[in-house]
Amino acid sequence: MKTSGLAVMSGFLNAALRTSHRRSR
C-alpha cells in the first residue's frame, strides 16, 4: 500500500512539473 501511494505521488508530481514547465515556456 505504501509503495502505491509513493508511485501515485511521484506520478502526480512528475505530471505537475511537466505541465508547469510547458506552461512556463
pTM of the model: 0.50
Q: What is the pLDDT of residues 1-25, one digit of tens each?
A: 678 989 999 999 999 999 887 776 6
- pLDDT (0 to 100) of residue 16: 92
Query: What are 19's three cell numbers?
Result: 505541465
Per-residue confidence (pLDDT) for residue 1, from 0 to 100: 61
Three state DSSP letters for the chain = CHHHHHHHHHHHHHHHHHHHHHHHC
| Residue 25 pLDDT | 66
Nearest Cα neighbor of 10 from 25, 18, 21 is 18
